[in-house]
Chain A
Protein backbone atom coordinates (compact mmCIF):
# COMPACT_ATOMS: atom_id res chain seq x y z
CA UNK A 1 0.00 0.00 0.00
CA UNK A 2 2.81 2.36 0.81
CA UNK A 3 4.30 1.64 -2.62
CA UNK A 4 1.01 2.54 -4.20
CA UNK A 5 1.06 5.99 -2.65
CA UNK A 6 4.67 6.41 -3.55
CA UNK A 7 3.95 5.65 -7.22
CA UNK A 8 1.02 8.01 -7.15
CA UNK A 9 3.29 10.63 -5.70
CA UNK A 10 5.52 10.39 -8.75
CA UNK A 11 2.66 11.52 -10.93
CA UNK A 12 0.82 13.86 -8.66
CA UNK A 13 3.93 15.53 -7.43
CA UNK A 14 3.64 19.24 -7.98
CA UNK A 15 7.35 19.80 -7.52
CA UNK A 16 8.29 18.04 -10.74
CA UNK A 17 5.97 20.19 -12.77
CA UNK A 18 7.15 23.31 -11.01
CA UNK A 19 10.78 22.40 -11.43
CA UNK A 20 10.26 22.67 -15.16
CA UNK A 21 9.56 26.33 -15.02
CA UNK A 22 12.89 26.95 -13.36
CA UNK A 23 15.81 28.46 -15.12
CA UNK A 24 16.47 26.59 -18.32
CA UNK A 25 20.23 27.11 -18.22
CA UNK A 26 20.34 25.54 -14.78
CA UNK A 27 18.37 22.56 -16.05
CA UNK A 28 20.74 22.07 -18.98
CA UNK A 29 23.75 22.31 -16.71
CA UNK A 30 22.27 19.76 -14.31
CA UNK A 31 21.67 17.33 -17.18
CA UNK A 32 25.19 17.89 -18.53
CA UNK A 33 26.81 17.24 -15.16
CA UNK A 34 24.71 14.12 -14.61
CA UNK A 35 25.88 12.74 -17.96
CA UNK A 36 29.47 13.54 -17.04
CA UNK A 37 28.98 11.82 -13.70
CA UNK A 38 27.66 8.73 -15.47
CA UNK A 39 30.88 8.49 -17.50
CA UNK A 40 32.99 9.00 -14.39
CA UNK A 41 31.15 6.22 -12.56
CA UNK A 42 31.46 3.82 -15.49
CA UNK A 43 35.16 4.52 -16.10
CA UNK A 44 35.92 4.53 -12.39
CA UNK A 45 34.53 1.04 -12.17
CA UNK A 46 36.87 -0.29 -14.83
CA UNK A 47 39.84 1.88 -14.07
CA UNK A 48 42.37 -0.96 -13.92
CA UNK A 49 41.37 -2.45 -17.30
CA UNK A 50 41.41 1.10 -18.65
CA UNK A 51 44.99 1.60 -17.45
CA UNK A 52 46.16 -1.72 -18.85
CA UNK A 53 44.50 -0.96 -22.16
CA UNK A 54 46.14 2.41 -22.62
CA UNK A 55 49.48 1.92 -20.88
CA UNK A 56 50.72 -1.47 -21.99
CA UNK A 57 51.78 -0.36 -25.45
CA UNK A 58 53.65 2.79 -24.33
CA UNK A 59 55.33 0.72 -21.62
CA UNK A 60 56.79 -1.69 -24.18
CA UNK A 61 57.76 1.10 -26.55
CA UNK A 62 59.65 2.91 -23.81
CA UNK A 63 61.33 -0.28 -22.70
CA UNK A 64 62.41 -1.51 -26.15
CA UNK A 65 63.25 1.80 -27.81
CA UNK A 66 64.35 3.79 -24.78
CA UNK A 67 66.15 1.08 -22.85
CA UNK A 68 66.93 -2.05 -24.86
CA UNK A 69 68.03 -0.50 -28.17
CA UNK A 70 70.39 2.08 -26.57
CA UNK A 71 71.86 -0.67 -24.35
CA UNK A 72 72.76 -2.87 -27.32
CA UNK A 73 74.04 0.13 -29.23
CA UNK A 74 71.28 0.15 -31.84
CA UNK A 75 70.24 3.64 -30.76
CA UNK A 76 71.86 6.58 -29.02
CA UNK A 77 71.40 6.99 -25.28
CA UNK A 78 69.76 10.35 -25.93
CA UNK A 79 67.10 8.75 -28.13
CA UNK A 80 64.99 8.10 -25.03
CA UNK A 81 64.69 11.84 -24.44
CA UNK A 82 63.38 12.35 -27.99
CA UNK A 83 61.07 9.36 -27.76
CA UNK A 84 59.35 10.18 -24.48
CA UNK A 85 57.51 13.32 -25.71
CA UNK A 86 56.42 11.34 -28.76
CA UNK A 87 55.02 8.54 -26.59
CA UNK A 88 53.21 11.04 -24.36
CA UNK A 89 51.70 12.77 -27.39
CA UNK A 90 50.70 9.47 -29.00
CA UNK A 91 49.12 8.17 -25.80
CA UNK A 92 47.13 11.35 -25.22
CA UNK A 93 45.86 11.48 -28.80
CA UNK A 94 44.95 7.80 -29.19
CA UNK A 95 43.35 7.51 -25.74
CA UNK A 96 41.23 10.62 -26.28
CA UNK A 97 40.38 9.64 -29.84
CA UNK A 98 39.44 6.05 -29.10
CA UNK A 99 37.56 7.12 -25.98
CA UNK A 100 35.03 8.76 -28.28
CA UNK A 101 35.26 6.71 -31.44
CA UNK A 102 34.83 3.12 -30.29
CA UNK A 103 31.82 3.61 -27.99
CA UNK A 104 30.19 5.94 -30.48
CA UNK A 105 30.48 3.59 -33.45
CA UNK A 106 28.90 0.77 -31.47
CA UNK A 107 26.28 3.03 -29.94
CA UNK A 108 25.12 4.52 -33.21
CA UNK A 109 25.36 1.12 -34.87
CA UNK A 110 23.17 -1.15 -32.76
CA UNK A 111 23.23 -0.50 -29.03
CA UNK A 112 21.59 2.92 -29.11
CA UNK A 113 22.61 3.18 -25.47
CA UNK A 114 23.14 6.87 -25.97
CA UNK A 115 19.41 7.42 -26.63
CA UNK A 116 18.57 7.99 -23.01
CA UNK A 117 21.09 10.82 -22.86
CA UNK A 118 19.89 12.27 -26.15
CA UNK A 119 16.40 12.44 -24.65
CA UNK A 120 17.65 14.31 -21.59
CA UNK A 121 16.62 17.96 -21.48
CA UNK A 122 19.69 19.46 -23.11
CA UNK A 123 20.77 20.16 -26.71
CA UNK A 124 22.12 17.01 -28.36
CA UNK A 125 25.29 18.91 -29.27
CA UNK A 126 26.04 19.10 -25.54
CA UNK A 127 25.90 15.31 -25.36
CA UNK A 128 28.65 15.34 -27.99
CA UNK A 129 30.56 18.00 -26.08
CA UNK A 130 30.40 15.92 -22.92
CA UNK A 131 31.88 12.98 -24.81
CA UNK A 132 34.71 15.23 -25.99
CA UNK A 133 35.44 16.60 -22.55
CA UNK A 134 35.37 13.22 -20.92
CA UNK A 135 37.51 11.51 -23.55
CA UNK A 136 39.99 14.39 -23.33
CA UNK A 137 40.12 13.87 -19.58
CA UNK A 138 40.88 10.19 -20.09
CA UNK A 139 43.60 11.13 -22.55
CA UNK A 140 45.15 13.51 -20.03
CA UNK A 141 45.11 10.95 -17.24
CA UNK A 142 46.77 8.37 -19.49
CA UNK A 143 49.36 10.93 -20.68
CA UNK A 144 50.17 12.01 -17.13
CA UNK A 145 50.74 8.44 -15.99
CA UNK A 146 53.34 8.00 -18.75
CA UNK A 147 55.74 10.26 -16.81
CA UNK A 148 56.18 8.13 -13.67
CA UNK A 149 56.09 5.04 -15.89
CA UNK A 150 58.95 6.42 -17.99
CA UNK A 151 60.88 7.45 -14.91
CA UNK A 152 60.69 3.86 -13.73
CA UNK A 153 61.44 2.19 -17.10
CA UNK A 154 64.13 4.52 -18.42
CA UNK A 155 66.05 5.05 -15.20
CA UNK A 156 69.09 7.21 -15.92
CA UNK A 157 67.88 7.83 -19.47
CA UNK A 158 64.89 9.78 -18.12
CA UNK A 159 65.59 13.43 -18.88
CA UNK A 160 62.77 15.96 -18.87
CA UNK A 161 62.95 19.74 -18.55
CA UNK A 162 61.28 20.84 -15.37
CA UNK A 163 61.17 24.55 -16.12
CA UNK A 164 58.27 24.41 -18.62
CA UNK A 165 55.65 22.32 -16.83
CA UNK A 166 52.97 24.89 -17.60
CA UNK A 167 53.70 24.60 -21.32
CA UNK A 168 53.70 20.79 -21.12
CA UNK A 169 50.30 20.80 -19.44
CA UNK A 170 48.90 23.35 -21.87
CA UNK A 171 50.00 21.35 -24.91
CA UNK A 172 48.70 18.13 -23.42
CA UNK A 173 45.28 19.67 -22.80
CA UNK A 174 45.07 21.02 -26.32
CA UNK A 175 46.29 17.69 -27.71
CA UNK A 176 43.65 15.77 -25.76
CA UNK A 177 40.88 18.07 -26.97
CA UNK A 178 42.09 17.86 -30.58
CA UNK A 179 42.25 14.05 -30.39
CA UNK A 180 38.75 13.81 -28.90
CA UNK A 181 37.14 16.03 -31.56
CA UNK A 182 38.89 14.02 -34.26
CA UNK A 183 37.47 10.91 -32.58
CA UNK A 184 33.97 12.40 -32.59
CA UNK A 185 34.13 13.04 -36.31
CA UNK A 186 35.48 9.58 -37.10
CA UNK A 187 33.06 7.90 -34.71
CA UNK A 188 30.01 9.43 -36.35
CA UNK A 189 31.15 8.56 -39.88
CA UNK A 190 32.38 4.99 -39.45
CA UNK A 191 29.92 2.09 -39.43
CA UNK A 192 30.37 -0.85 -37.05
CA UNK A 193 31.35 -3.23 -39.85
CA UNK A 194 34.13 -0.82 -40.84
CA UNK A 195 35.95 -0.81 -37.49
CA UNK A 196 38.73 -3.07 -38.74
CA UNK A 197 39.19 -0.93 -41.81
CA UNK A 198 39.26 2.18 -39.65
CA UNK A 199 42.22 0.88 -37.64
CA UNK A 200 44.13 0.09 -40.82
CA UNK A 201 43.27 3.22 -42.77
CA UNK A 202 43.20 5.84 -40.04
CA UNK A 203 45.13 4.75 -36.96
CA UNK A 204 48.16 3.20 -38.58
CA UNK A 205 49.02 6.22 -40.77
CA UNK A 206 48.16 8.54 -37.88
CA UNK A 207 50.67 6.81 -35.63
CA UNK A 208 53.52 6.53 -38.11
CA UNK A 209 53.32 9.92 -39.79
CA UNK A 210 52.98 11.81 -36.52
CA UNK A 211 56.65 12.39 -35.62
CA UNK A 212 56.24 10.09 -32.64
CA UNK A 213 59.50 8.20 -33.10
CA UNK A 214 61.58 10.85 -34.84
CA UNK A 215 62.00 14.63 -34.52
CA UNK A 216 60.49 16.64 -37.35
CA UNK A 217 63.59 18.79 -37.94
CA UNK A 218 65.67 15.76 -38.87
CA UNK A 219 63.35 14.89 -41.74
CA UNK A 220 65.06 17.59 -43.83
CA UNK A 221 66.55 14.90 -46.04
CA UNK A 222 63.12 13.46 -46.92
CA UNK A 223 61.38 16.67 -47.75
CA UNK A 224 58.17 15.14 -49.15
CA UNK A 225 57.66 13.12 -46.00
CA UNK A 226 58.38 16.13 -43.85
CA UNK A 227 55.57 17.96 -45.63
CA UNK A 228 53.19 15.01 -45.22
CA UNK A 229 53.72 14.91 -41.47
CA UNK A 230 52.43 18.47 -41.26
CA UNK A 231 48.95 17.21 -42.15
CA UNK A 232 48.92 15.02 -39.05
CA UNK A 233 47.79 16.74 -35.82
CA UNK A 234 49.94 14.30 -33.86
CA UNK A 235 53.03 15.97 -35.35
CA UNK A 236 52.16 19.24 -33.61
CA UNK A 237 51.49 17.46 -30.33
CA UNK A 238 54.80 15.55 -30.36
CA UNK A 239 56.85 18.51 -31.54
CA UNK A 240 55.24 20.81 -28.99
CA UNK A 241 56.01 18.35 -26.22
CA UNK A 242 59.60 17.98 -27.49
CA UNK A 243 59.91 21.73 -27.37
CA UNK A 244 58.81 21.77 -23.73
CA UNK A 245 60.34 18.51 -22.52
CA UNK A 246 63.69 17.79 -24.14
CA UNK A 247 66.60 19.35 -22.21
CA UNK A 248 69.74 20.55 -24.02
CA UNK A 249 71.95 17.51 -24.62
CA UNK A 250 75.68 18.24 -24.32
CA UNK A 251 74.83 21.91 -24.82
CA UNK A 252 72.89 21.14 -27.97
CA UNK A 253 69.25 22.24 -28.09
CA UNK A 254 67.05 20.07 -30.27
CA UNK A 255 65.40 22.14 -32.98
CA UNK A 256 61.61 21.62 -33.08
CA UNK A 257 58.64 23.06 -34.88
CA UNK A 258 58.05 26.59 -33.60
CA UNK A 259 55.68 26.76 -30.62
CA UNK A 260 53.51 29.17 -32.58
CA UNK A 261 53.04 26.59 -35.35
CA UNK A 262 52.35 23.93 -32.74
CA UNK A 263 49.57 25.96 -31.12
CA UNK A 264 48.15 26.84 -34.51
CA UNK A 265 48.19 23.21 -35.70
CA UNK A 266 46.50 21.88 -32.56
CA UNK A 267 44.10 24.82 -32.35
CA UNK A 268 42.96 24.47 -35.95
CA UNK A 269 42.49 20.72 -35.50
CA UNK A 270 40.43 21.25 -32.36
CA UNK A 271 38.18 23.99 -33.70
CA UNK A 272 37.80 22.44 -37.15
CA UNK A 273 36.90 18.96 -35.99
CA UNK A 274 34.77 20.32 -33.15
CA UNK A 275 32.53 22.02 -35.69
CA UNK A 276 32.62 19.14 -38.14
CA UNK A 277 32.16 16.48 -35.43
CA UNK A 278 29.15 18.17 -33.85
CA UNK A 279 27.63 18.58 -37.30
CA UNK A 280 28.12 14.88 -38.17
CA UNK A 281 26.97 13.86 -34.69
CA UNK A 282 23.73 15.78 -35.02
CA UNK A 283 23.19 14.23 -38.43
CA UNK A 284 23.81 10.75 -37.05
CA UNK A 285 21.42 11.04 -34.09
CA UNK A 286 18.60 13.08 -35.62
CA UNK A 287 17.38 11.60 -38.88
Chain B
Protein backbone atom coordinates (compact mmCIF):
# COMPACT_ATOMS: atom_id res chain seq x y z
CA UNK B 1 0.00 0.00 0.00
CA UNK B 2 2.42 2.57 1.25
CA UNK B 3 4.95 1.81 -1.43
CA UNK B 4 2.45 2.32 -4.24
CA UNK B 5 1.39 5.61 -2.73
CA UNK B 6 4.97 6.63 -2.43
CA UNK B 7 5.71 5.63 -5.99
CA UNK B 8 2.69 7.50 -7.17
CA UNK B 9 3.73 10.57 -5.27
CA UNK B 10 7.24 10.37 -6.62
CA UNK B 11 6.13 9.93 -10.21
CA UNK B 12 3.69 12.78 -9.77
CA UNK B 13 6.44 14.94 -8.37
CA UNK B 14 8.74 14.01 -11.23
CA UNK B 15 5.96 14.81 -13.64
CA UNK B 16 5.27 18.25 -12.24
CA UNK B 17 8.95 18.99 -12.20
CA UNK B 18 9.14 17.80 -15.77
CA UNK B 19 6.25 20.09 -16.68
CA UNK B 20 8.17 23.16 -15.59
CA UNK B 21 9.98 25.21 -18.19
CA UNK B 22 11.78 27.31 -15.57
CA UNK B 23 12.38 26.36 -11.97
CA UNK B 24 14.24 28.85 -9.78
CA UNK B 25 14.99 28.09 -6.15
CA UNK B 26 16.47 30.41 -3.51
CA UNK B 27 18.50 32.18 -6.16
CA UNK B 28 21.05 34.71 -4.94
CA UNK B 29 23.45 36.87 -6.91
CA UNK B 30 25.95 39.19 -5.36
CA UNK B 31 28.31 40.87 -7.80
CA UNK B 32 31.96 41.00 -6.80
CA UNK B 33 32.82 44.05 -4.71
CA UNK B 34 29.16 44.76 -4.09
CA UNK B 35 27.73 45.05 -0.60
CA UNK B 36 24.18 44.02 -1.45
CA UNK B 37 22.61 41.14 -3.30
CA UNK B 38 21.45 42.15 -6.78
CA UNK B 39 19.14 39.12 -6.63
CA UNK B 40 18.19 38.25 -3.10
CA UNK B 41 16.91 34.72 -2.67
CA UNK B 42 14.11 34.51 -5.21
CA UNK B 43 12.13 31.40 -6.06
CA UNK B 44 9.55 30.90 -8.76
CA UNK B 45 8.64 28.51 -11.51
CA UNK B 46 7.13 28.88 -14.93
CA UNK B 47 5.03 26.18 -16.58
CA UNK B 48 5.65 25.14 -20.14
CA UNK B 49 3.81 27.40 -22.53
CA UNK B 50 3.24 30.13 -19.97
CA UNK B 51 3.98 33.86 -20.36
CA UNK B 52 5.52 35.01 -17.13
CA UNK B 53 6.46 38.58 -16.23
CA UNK B 54 9.07 40.07 -13.94
CA UNK B 55 7.89 43.56 -13.12
CA UNK B 56 10.07 45.98 -11.23
CA UNK B 57 11.69 49.39 -11.20
CA UNK B 58 15.25 50.14 -12.43
CA UNK B 59 17.83 48.15 -10.54
CA UNK B 60 15.32 45.63 -9.21
CA UNK B 61 17.47 42.77 -10.48
CA UNK B 62 15.46 41.77 -13.54
CA UNK B 63 18.35 41.72 -16.01
CA UNK B 64 20.55 39.95 -13.49
CA UNK B 65 17.90 37.26 -13.09
CA UNK B 66 17.64 36.80 -16.85
CA UNK B 67 21.45 36.71 -17.02
CA UNK B 68 21.58 33.80 -14.60
CA UNK B 69 18.75 31.94 -16.33
CA UNK B 70 20.52 32.31 -19.66
CA UNK B 71 24.00 31.25 -18.46
CA UNK B 72 25.75 34.60 -18.80
CA UNK B 73 25.79 35.35 -15.07
CA UNK B 74 26.89 32.83 -12.47
CA UNK B 75 24.63 32.56 -9.43
CA UNK B 76 26.13 33.06 -5.98
CA UNK B 77 23.83 30.39 -4.57
CA UNK B 78 20.55 28.67 -5.31
CA UNK B 79 19.54 26.54 -8.26
CA UNK B 80 18.00 27.14 -11.66
CA UNK B 81 16.66 24.52 -14.01
CA UNK B 82 15.53 25.31 -17.53
CA UNK B 83 13.52 22.52 -19.16
CA UNK B 84 14.84 20.31 -16.41
CA UNK B 85 18.49 21.17 -17.06
CA UNK B 86 20.68 22.85 -14.46
CA UNK B 87 22.14 26.12 -15.80
CA UNK B 88 25.41 25.83 -13.92
CA UNK B 89 26.06 22.14 -14.56
CA UNK B 90 25.05 22.06 -18.21
CA UNK B 91 25.06 25.55 -19.74
CA UNK B 92 25.39 24.12 -23.26
CA UNK B 93 22.25 22.03 -22.87
CA UNK B 94 20.42 25.14 -21.66
CA UNK B 95 21.74 27.35 -24.47
CA UNK B 96 20.36 24.89 -27.02
CA UNK B 97 16.84 25.35 -25.72
CA UNK B 98 16.63 29.07 -25.03
CA UNK B 99 16.75 32.42 -26.78
CA UNK B 100 17.37 35.88 -25.41
CA UNK B 101 16.28 39.27 -26.64
CA UNK B 102 18.45 41.60 -24.55
CA UNK B 103 17.63 45.02 -23.19
CA UNK B 104 20.20 46.73 -25.43
CA UNK B 105 20.88 45.80 -29.04
CA UNK B 106 23.71 43.32 -29.47
CA UNK B 107 23.20 42.72 -33.17
CA UNK B 108 26.27 41.75 -35.15
CA UNK B 109 27.23 45.00 -36.91
CA UNK B 110 29.47 43.25 -39.43
CA UNK B 111 26.65 41.24 -40.95
CA UNK B 112 23.62 42.08 -43.02
CA UNK B 113 20.23 41.71 -41.35
CA UNK B 114 19.36 38.44 -43.01
CA UNK B 115 22.80 36.99 -42.32
CA UNK B 116 22.33 37.75 -38.65
CA UNK B 117 19.43 35.33 -38.77
CA UNK B 118 21.07 32.65 -40.88
CA UNK B 119 24.35 32.68 -38.94
CA UNK B 120 22.47 32.46 -35.66
CA UNK B 121 20.69 29.38 -36.97
CA UNK B 122 23.98 27.99 -38.23
CA UNK B 123 25.53 28.36 -34.75
CA UNK B 124 22.61 26.26 -33.56
CA UNK B 125 23.07 23.61 -36.20
CA UNK B 126 20.00 24.33 -38.34
CA UNK B 127 20.75 22.95 -41.84
CA UNK B 128 21.29 25.46 -44.63
CA UNK B 129 18.07 25.07 -46.65
CA UNK B 130 16.04 25.14 -43.48
CA UNK B 131 17.68 28.30 -42.12
CA UNK B 132 17.27 30.16 -45.40
CA UNK B 133 13.55 29.34 -45.43
CA UNK B 134 13.17 30.34 -41.80
CA UNK B 135 14.97 33.64 -42.29
CA UNK B 136 12.56 34.58 -45.07
CA UNK B 137 9.53 33.52 -43.07
CA UNK B 138 10.60 35.39 -39.94
CA UNK B 139 11.62 38.57 -41.76
CA UNK B 140 8.15 38.61 -43.23
CA UNK B 141 6.45 37.76 -39.95
CA UNK B 142 8.19 40.66 -38.25
CA UNK B 143 7.57 43.18 -40.97
CA UNK B 144 11.15 43.33 -42.22
CA UNK B 145 10.55 41.86 -45.65
CA UNK B 146 12.81 43.48 -48.20
CA UNK B 147 15.15 44.90 -45.54
CA UNK B 148 17.21 41.75 -45.16
CA UNK B 149 20.14 42.89 -47.29
CA UNK B 150 20.83 46.01 -45.26
CA UNK B 151 23.45 46.34 -42.61
CA UNK B 152 21.78 47.04 -39.32
CA UNK B 153 23.55 50.37 -38.85
CA UNK B 154 20.67 51.81 -40.83
CA UNK B 155 17.99 50.12 -38.76
CA UNK B 156 15.74 52.10 -36.43
CA UNK B 157 15.40 51.04 -32.81
CA UNK B 158 12.09 49.35 -33.49
CA UNK B 159 13.46 47.43 -36.46
CA UNK B 160 16.48 46.30 -34.49
CA UNK B 161 14.17 45.07 -31.76
CA UNK B 162 12.09 43.11 -34.24
CA UNK B 163 15.21 41.67 -35.85
CA UNK B 164 16.42 40.51 -32.44
CA UNK B 165 13.10 38.76 -31.91
CA UNK B 166 13.39 37.14 -35.33
CA UNK B 167 16.91 36.02 -34.50
CA UNK B 168 15.71 34.57 -31.21
CA UNK B 169 13.15 32.44 -33.01
CA UNK B 170 15.49 31.04 -35.67
CA UNK B 171 16.40 27.90 -33.76
CA UNK B 172 12.94 27.04 -32.37
CA UNK B 173 13.70 27.73 -28.71
CA UNK B 174 11.59 26.14 -26.00
CA UNK B 175 11.98 29.16 -23.74
CA UNK B 176 12.21 32.76 -24.85
CA UNK B 177 13.63 35.48 -22.60
CA UNK B 178 12.65 39.05 -23.40
CA UNK B 179 14.35 41.80 -21.40
CA UNK B 180 12.18 44.91 -21.59
CA UNK B 181 11.15 44.07 -25.15
CA UNK B 182 9.25 47.26 -25.91
CA UNK B 183 11.17 49.79 -23.88
CA UNK B 184 11.70 53.01 -25.85
CA UNK B 185 9.49 51.94 -28.75
CA UNK B 186 6.70 54.11 -30.12
CA UNK B 187 3.13 52.99 -29.30
CA UNK B 188 2.58 51.50 -32.73
CA UNK B 189 5.73 49.34 -32.66
CA UNK B 190 4.84 48.36 -29.14
CA UNK B 191 1.44 47.05 -30.16
CA UNK B 192 2.98 45.24 -33.10
CA UNK B 193 5.52 43.55 -30.89
CA UNK B 194 2.89 42.61 -28.31
CA UNK B 195 0.96 41.01 -31.10
CA UNK B 196 3.98 38.98 -32.21
CA UNK B 197 4.72 37.94 -28.64
CA UNK B 198 1.15 36.70 -28.22
CA UNK B 199 1.46 34.79 -31.49
CA UNK B 200 4.61 33.05 -30.20
CA UNK B 201 2.78 32.22 -27.00
CA UNK B 202 -0.05 30.64 -28.96
CA UNK B 203 2.47 28.43 -30.67
CA UNK B 204 3.48 27.04 -27.31
CA UNK B 205 6.72 28.87 -26.61
CA UNK B 206 7.37 29.55 -22.94
CA UNK B 207 8.09 33.24 -22.47
CA UNK B 208 9.68 35.09 -19.58
CA UNK B 209 9.69 38.83 -19.99
CA UNK B 210 10.77 41.71 -17.82
CA UNK B 211 9.25 45.12 -17.89
CA UNK B 212 8.67 48.19 -15.83
CA UNK B 213 5.59 48.94 -17.82
CA UNK B 214 2.41 47.98 -15.95
CA UNK B 215 0.29 47.93 -19.05
CA UNK B 216 2.66 45.58 -20.80
CA UNK B 217 2.66 43.16 -17.89
CA UNK B 218 -1.13 43.26 -17.65
CA UNK B 219 -1.58 42.86 -21.38
CA UNK B 220 0.76 39.97 -21.92
CA UNK B 221 1.46 38.01 -18.78
CA UNK B 222 -0.47 35.15 -17.28
CA UNK B 223 1.43 35.50 -14.03
CA UNK B 224 3.55 38.32 -12.74
CA UNK B 225 6.24 38.53 -10.08
CA UNK B 226 6.75 42.03 -8.74
CA UNK B 227 10.43 42.55 -7.93
CA UNK B 228 12.11 45.24 -5.89
CA UNK B 229 15.63 45.35 -4.49
CA UNK B 230 16.35 41.84 -5.72
CA UNK B 231 13.35 40.27 -3.99
CA UNK B 232 10.01 39.07 -5.23
CA UNK B 233 7.34 40.96 -3.30
CA UNK B 234 4.35 39.10 -4.71
CA UNK B 235 3.68 36.62 -7.45
CA UNK B 236 0.25 35.98 -8.88
CA UNK B 237 -2.08 36.50 -11.83
CA UNK B 238 -2.73 40.15 -12.74
CA UNK B 239 -6.31 39.89 -11.46
CA UNK B 240 -5.29 38.44 -8.14
CA UNK B 241 -2.55 41.02 -7.75
CA UNK B 242 -5.07 43.80 -8.15
CA UNK B 243 -7.13 42.29 -5.38
CA UNK B 244 -4.23 43.01 -3.06
CA UNK B 245 -5.16 46.66 -3.14
CA UNK B 246 -7.78 47.12 -0.42
CA UNK B 247 -11.03 48.50 -1.75
CA UNK B 248 -12.34 47.41 -5.11
CA UNK B 249 -12.06 50.73 -6.93
CA UNK B 250 -10.14 53.91 -6.59
CA UNK B 251 -11.04 57.56 -6.90
CA UNK B 252 -8.16 59.73 -7.96
CA UNK B 253 -8.22 63.45 -7.27
CA UNK B 254 -5.76 65.90 -8.67
CA UNK B 255 -5.88 69.14 -6.75
CA UNK B 256 -4.03 72.40 -6.70
CA UNK B 257 -3.47 73.56 -3.15
CA UNK B 258 -4.30 77.15 -2.22
CA UNK B 259 -1.46 79.61 -2.63
CA UNK B 260 0.18 81.63 0.14
CA UNK B 261 -2.07 84.59 -0.63
CA UNK B 262 -5.11 82.67 0.51
CA UNK B 263 -3.40 81.44 3.62
CA UNK B 264 -2.36 84.98 4.51
CA UNK B 265 -5.97 86.22 4.45
CA UNK B 266 -6.56 84.06 7.48
CA UNK B 267 -8.51 81.29 5.80
CA UNK B 268 -7.77 77.89 7.24
CA UNK B 269 -4.65 76.61 5.56
CA UNK B 270 -5.32 73.48 3.56
CA UNK B 271 -2.42 71.15 3.81
CA UNK B 272 -2.36 67.82 2.08
CA UNK B 273 -2.53 66.14 5.44
CA UNK B 274 -5.57 68.13 6.44
CA UNK B 275 -7.30 67.26 3.22
CA UNK B 276 -6.38 63.68 3.64
CA UNK B 277 -7.73 63.31 7.15
CA UNK B 278 -10.97 64.92 6.08
CA UNK B 279 -11.32 62.57 3.13
CA UNK B 280 -10.70 59.62 5.39
CA UNK B 281 -13.82 60.59 7.36
CA UNK B 282 -16.03 59.99 4.33
CA UNK B 283 -18.62 57.19 4.49
CA UNK B 284 -16.98 53.78 4.42
CA UNK B 285 -13.70 55.29 5.64
CA UNK B 286 -11.72 54.95 2.41
CA UNK B 287 -7.98 54.50 2.61
CA UNK B 288 -6.33 57.65 1.24
CA UNK B 289 -2.86 57.67 -0.29
CA UNK B 290 -0.90 60.39 -1.88
CA UNK B 291 0.60 59.48 -5.24
CA UNK B 292 4.21 60.55 -5.43
CA UNK B 293 4.38 63.43 -7.89
CA UNK B 294 7.24 64.71 -9.96
CA UNK B 295 9.04 67.97 -9.34
CA UNK B 296 7.27 69.85 -12.05
CA UNK B 297 3.89 69.11 -10.51
CA UNK B 298 5.24 69.99 -7.09
CA UNK B 299 6.30 73.39 -8.33
CA UNK B 300 2.79 74.10 -9.52
CA UNK B 301 1.36 72.98 -6.19
CA UNK B 302 -0.37 70.01 -7.80
CA UNK B 303 -1.02 66.94 -5.66
CA UNK B 304 -2.70 63.64 -6.41
CA UNK B 305 -4.68 61.69 -3.85
CA UNK B 306 -6.24 58.28 -4.22
CA UNK B 307 -9.21 57.01 -2.26
CA UNK B 308 -9.61 53.26 -2.17
CA UNK B 309 -12.93 51.63 -1.25
CA UNK B 310 -15.60 49.29 -2.61
CA UNK B 311 -17.59 51.93 -4.45
CA UNK B 312 -15.23 54.85 -4.79
CA UNK B 313 -17.45 56.47 -7.42
CA UNK B 314 -20.12 57.22 -4.87
CA UNK B 315 -17.70 59.36 -2.91
CA UNK B 316 -17.04 61.75 -5.78
CA UNK B 317 -19.61 64.38 -4.82
CA UNK B 318 -18.65 64.42 -1.17
CA UNK B 319 -14.94 64.49 -1.98
CA UNK B 320 -15.50 67.42 -4.29
CA UNK B 321 -17.24 69.31 -1.49
CA UNK B 322 -14.31 68.73 0.88
CA UNK B 323 -11.80 69.86 -1.69
CA UNK B 324 -13.57 73.11 -2.48
CA UNK B 325 -14.27 73.79 1.18
CA UNK B 326 -10.53 73.54 1.79
CA UNK B 327 -9.97 76.23 -0.79
CA UNK B 328 -8.15 73.87 -3.13
CA UNK B 329 -8.82 73.76 -6.82
CA UNK B 330 -9.88 70.47 -8.40
CA UNK B 331 -7.97 69.79 -11.58
CA UNK B 332 -8.97 66.24 -12.34
CA UNK B 333 -11.15 63.53 -10.90
CA UNK B 334 -11.61 60.03 -12.12
CA UNK B 335 -12.61 56.59 -10.96
CA UNK B 336 -10.32 53.72 -11.82
CA UNK B 337 -10.03 50.06 -11.15
CA UNK B 338 -6.70 49.47 -9.45
CA UNK B 339 -3.83 48.82 -11.82
CA UNK B 340 -0.60 47.01 -11.20
CA UNK B 341 0.90 50.39 -10.51
CA UNK B 342 -1.43 50.73 -7.53
CA UNK B 343 -0.31 47.32 -6.40
CA UNK B 344 3.29 48.43 -6.56
CA UNK B 345 2.61 51.69 -4.73
CA UNK B 346 0.59 49.78 -2.17
CA UNK B 347 3.46 47.34 -1.60
CA UNK B 348 6.36 49.76 -1.57
CA UNK B 349 4.97 53.24 -1.11
CA UNK B 350 6.93 54.22 -4.20
CA UNK B 351 6.10 54.89 -7.80
CA UNK B 352 7.35 52.27 -10.25
CA UNK B 353 9.03 54.81 -12.46
CA UNK B 354 10.75 56.80 -9.75
Contacts and interface: CB of A to CB of B under 8 A. Distances in A.
Interface of A: 3, 6-8, 10-13, 16-17, 19-20, 24, 27-28, 30-31, 34-35, 37-38, 41-42, 111-113, 115-123, 285-287
B285 interface: no
Contacts of B8: none
Interface string B83-122: 0000000011101111110101011111100011001101
Contacts of B95: 119-121
Interface of B: 31, 67, 70-74, 91-93, 95-100, 102, 104, 106-111, 115-116, 119-120, 122-126, 133-134, 137-138, 140-141, 167, 169-172, 200, 203-205
Nearest to B116: A116
Contacts of B98: 119
Given A121-B95, A121-B125, A122-B92, A42 B111 contact: yes
B73 A27 contact: no
B97 A120 contact: no
A12 B204 CA distance: 9
Nearest to A30: B125
Contacts of A10: 134, 137-138, 169-170, 172
A113 B111 CA distance: 10
A25 to B, nearest CB: 11
6 contacts: A6-B137, A10-B137, A10-B170, A11-B203, A11-B204, A121-B92
Contacts of B70: 119
A10 B139 CA distance: 13
B141 A7 contact: yes
The A interface is mostly helix, strand or loop, or mixed, namely helix
Contacts of B122: 30, 34, 37-38
B80 to A, nearest CB: 14
Given A11-B204, A13-B172, A38-B111, A121 B124 contact: yes
B66 to A, nearest CB: 12
B109 A111 contact: yes
Given A8-B203, A11-B203, A11-B205, A20 B96 contact: yes
A8 B133 CA distance: 12
Contacts of A111: 106, 109
B140 A16 contact: no
B74 A286 contact: yes
A6 B74 CA distance: 37
10 closest cross-chain pairs (CB), A and B = A120-B123, A34-B122, A112-B106, A6-B137, A16-B172, A115-B106, A11-B203, A121-B96, A42-B110, A30-B125
A116 B108 contact: yes
Given A112-B102, A119-B95, A11 B172 contact: yes
